[in-house]
Amino acid sequence: MMKKKQSYSAEHARFLKKRRKNLVLVWSLRIGLLLLILGLWELSTQLGWVDSFLVSSPSRIGKTIASLYRDGTLFYHIGTTLWETLVGFVLAVVLGYAIALALWWSETLRKVLEPYIVVLNALPKIALGPLIIIWFGTGSKAILFMTLIVGLIVAIMHMLSAFIATDHNKILLLRSMGASKLQILTKLVVPSSVPSFISMLKINVGMAWIGSIMGEYIVSRAGLGYLIVYGGQVFKLDLVMTSTCILCILAAGMYFLVVLLEKLLVKNSES
Amino acid sequence: MKKEMLQFSDVSLIYHTKRGETKAAEHLTFTIAEGEFVAVIGPSGCGKTTLLSLAAGLLKPSEGTVERHGSCGYMLQKDELFPWRTIEKNIYLPLEIKRQKTAQNMERARALAEKYGLGDFLQSYPSQLSGGMRQRAALIRTLATDPDVLLLDEPFSALDYQTRLNVTEDVSEIIRSEGKTALLITHDISEAISLADRVLVLSKRPARVTFTHQLDFGDVVNPLKRREMSSFSGWFEILWKELNG
Ligand SMILES: Nc1ncnc2c1ncn2[C@@H]1O[C@H](COP(=O)(O)OP(=O)(O)O)[C@@H](O)[C@H]1O
Ligand SMILES: [Mg+2]
């Protein structure tokens, strides 16, 4: 652990400065690239190189957002999708973690359920669409369920393999101290699987968006997925592009929250 | 007659797997008295770790009995420090497991760490320590609950030669000055001679005790000093022949 407020050598100061400079460069280039793409996109539609009816344009997206906002439906659609995605995500992660723990705990249960999990994992969840509509109707509940099942199996399999991969020698060490199974779980299995937990969260952010948007494609009357389908059906490609861009921003935001959580969780262990 | 800390009586052990059964120990009989430092040498794969697991009570013998009088502390080949814990928290681990994490015990463990040169590293993470330091931390962790018998499974074999000599020196000094009973497993003949009061030689698998030697270095317990003594090479030759014969 570095002592805070250390006085560095001149060379180290130069090293830090160079690193900072490099970071600034990378970020300016990233933002520059984004502006370049948006600029070219706008320009090519303005100059008529491509048909803005087919590919929309940044300014038309801006206008669409403004008109959705005036309608008062912008935040309604965003909120609907965000809520479905977040709740489905949390449910999938919490349930998946709990089920993985249970499967780690009981080898018999694990062996019994293994083929079921494999099959469920391989099954394309969208095939369940009609069943879900019949069971849960066409509201948010159906989409939540879709989001949940898309993420759940991934969460279970990812965490279970992390739990099982716990270092045998470390388990042996704890057993030699007389540790109970619960102690092995809390002192070793859970903390040593934190990196896998984080990577599972990152994967499941993607899964949750797949689940909620797919769900909205099939059943819904609100949400960004609904706007995309609707926009496609009535050939309002501005609406499709706008919703897609908002989705990108939301998905990125959620991913960054996970990265933030990662920093919080692993700042204590230098590994 | 000193108190017996560990007694193996006619112990055999068979591992059962779906591919068949492996006899890893056969008719093991020996005792270890209080304060004694016993080294066990044997060819690799003969059942040394098995013997130690039996001693620690992690395995039940298929035949015979293992009697333990007092608590055991187990130290493995690798330090197995938990990377997400500081050295200090690693050292408290056995206290937590045994629900003995009292202020007094923590103080005792910390004092041990300071006494043996880990004071400056208590707040460090294992990844910031050298291999030798980590192994030393692992020993202090083993000593934290003040076990009566130390069970050491090739604790130096993962270290490079120079570090190994130094850590062997440290560990010997710590064990002797804390007055612990120790059972050391090794495949390194000179390590056994430089550390132990008594050496048991095991056969190829299944492990049987083929020879027992009381070493005659008198009061010399320092490993480096022993290595310089004239009788050292004599013992080496004897044990080498018995191990390979
Ligand atoms: N859990 C186990 N299940 C089945 N066989 C094992 C197990 N542990 C060890 N063995 C076998 O028992 C023999 C002795 O192993 P071990 O005690 O680890 O030897 P050593 O420590 O002397 O190298 C080896 O042949 C090994 O393959
Ligand atoms: Mg071994």
Give the sign of the dihedral formed by CA B52, CA B56, CA B61, CA B66.
positive
Instruction: Give me the CATH number covering residue A230.
Output: 1.10.3720.10
Contact A183 B145 (CB under 8 A): no
The label of the residue with tokens 């320009």 reads A43
B223 and B156 Cβ atoms separated by less than 8 Å? no
Please state, in angstroms and rounded to a whole number, the distance separating the CA atoms of residues A198 and A218. Answer: 30
Report yes or no on B127 lying in a domain: yes
Which residues in B have their CB inside 8 Å of a CB on A? 53, 56, 58, 72-74, 76-78, 80, 82-85, 93-94, 96-98, 123-125, 127-128, 145, 151
**What's the residue count for chain A?**
271
Contact B84 A192 (CB under 8 A): yes
Residue whose CB lies within 8 A of the most ligand 1 atoms, among B13, B17, B21, B22, for a mutation test: B22
Question: B119 Cβ partners below 8 Å, 6+ apart?
Answer: B113
Looking from the CA of residue B47, the nearest atom of ligand 1 is 17
> Residue A178: which of B78, B98, B125 has the nearest Cβ?
B98
Confidence of residue B166 (pLDDT cuts 50, 70, 90): confident
B206 in helix, strand or coil? coil
Average pLDDT over residues A206-222: 89
The residue among B97, B122, B125, B128 with the most chain A CBs within 10 A of its CB, best to mutate, is B97
CA torsion B164-A172-A271-B128 (nearest 10°) is: -30
**Among B240, B184, B192, B188, CA closest to B217:** B192
CB B24 less than 6 A from any atom of ligand 1? yes
Please state, in angstroms and rounded to a whole number, the distance separating the CA atoms of residues B15 and B30. Answer: 21
Confidence of residue A236 (pLDDT cuts 50, 70, 90): confident
**Among B172, B183, B192, CA closest to B239:** B192
Q: How far is the CA of A246 from the centre of ligand 1 (A)?
A: 59
Residues A170-200 pLDDT 10s: 999 999 999 999 999 999 999 999 999 999 9
Report yes or no on B111 lying in a domain: yes
Report yes or no on B104 lying in a domain: yes
Report yes or no on B209 lying in a domain: no
Please state, in angstroms and rounded to a whole number, the distance separating the CA atoms of residues B148 and B61. Answer: 22
Q: What share of chain B is helix, strand, coil (3-state, %, to 5)?
A: 40, 25, 35
Question: A109 Cβ partners below 8 Å, 6+ apart?
Answer: A102, A103
Containing structural domain, residue B88: 71-147
Average pLDDT over residues B107-130: 93
Q: How large is the ipTM?
A: 0.90
State the first-to-last Cα distance of chain B, in angstroms, to the nearest integer: 34
State the DSSP code for A189: I
The secondary structure of B70-82, three-state, reads CCEEEECCCCCCC
Give yes or no for residue A119 having a pLDDT over 90. Answer: yes
CB B130 less than 6 A from any atom of ligand 1? no
Containing structural domain, residue A180: 60-270
Confidence of residue A52 (pLDDT cuts 50, 70, 90): confident
Confidence of residue A5 (pLDDT cuts 50, 70, 90): low
Average pLDDT over residues A108-132: 91
| Backbone dihedral region for residue A97 (phi beyond 0: left; psi -120 to 50: alpha; all else: beta) | alpha
Report yes or no on B121 lying in a domain: yes
Confidence of residue A40 (pLDDT cuts 50, 70, 90): very high
Q: What single letter denotes the amino acid at residue A64?
A: T
> Residue B76: which of A169, A178, A192 has the nearest Cβ?
A169
State the DSSP code for B207: B
Please state, in angstroms and rounded to a whole number, the distance separating the CA atoms of residues B155 and B185. Answer: 8
The residue among A177, A180, A265 with the most chain B CBs within 10 A of its CB, best to mutate, is A177
What does the block give as tokens for B73? Answer: 């502390």
Query: Tell me, what's the pLDDT at A271?
Result: 44
> Residue B58: which of A175, A183, A268 has the nearest Cβ?
A175
Chain A residues lying within 8 Å of B77, measured CB to CB: 169
Report yes or no on B227 lying in a domain: no
Report yes or no on A47 lying in a domain: no
Please state, in angstroms and rounded to a whole number, the distance separating the CA atoms of residues A246 and B208. Answer: 72
The residue among A3, A176, A182, A196 with the most chain B CBs within 10 A of its CB, best to mutate, is A176
Please state, in angstroms and rounded to a whole number, the distance separating the CA atoms of residues B161 and B156. Answer: 9
What is the crossing angle of helices B103-115 and B131-143, to 10°?
Answer: 140
Confidence of residue A270 (pLDDT cuts 50, 70, 90): very low
**Beta-carbon pairs below 8 A across chains A and B:** 58
Question: What's the total number of domains in chain A?
Answer: 1
Chain A residues lying within 8 Å of B56, measured CB to CB: 176
Residues B54-85 pLDDT 10s: 999 999 999 999 999 989 999 998 999 999 99
B159 in helix, strand or coil? coil
Question: What's the total number of domains in chain B?
Answer: 1
Chain B residues lying within 8 Å of A192, measured CB to CB: 82, 84
Confidence of residue A103 (pLDDT cuts 50, 70, 90): very high
Q: What single letter denotes the amino acid at residue A150?
A: V
Average pLDDT over residues A77-105: 95
Q: What are phi and psi of B155, to 5 degrees?
A: -70, -10
Report yes or no on B169 lying in a domain: no
Chain B residues lying within 8 Å of A177, measured CB to CB: 74, 93-94, 97-98, 145
A155 and A97 Cβ atoms separated by less than 8 Å? yes
Report yes or no on B24 lying in a domain: no
Report yes or no on A53 lying in a domain: no
Nearest residue of chain A to residue B59 (CA atoms): A176
* Closest chain A C-alpha to B154 CA, distance in angstroms: 13
Question: pTM of whole model > 0.90?
Answer: no
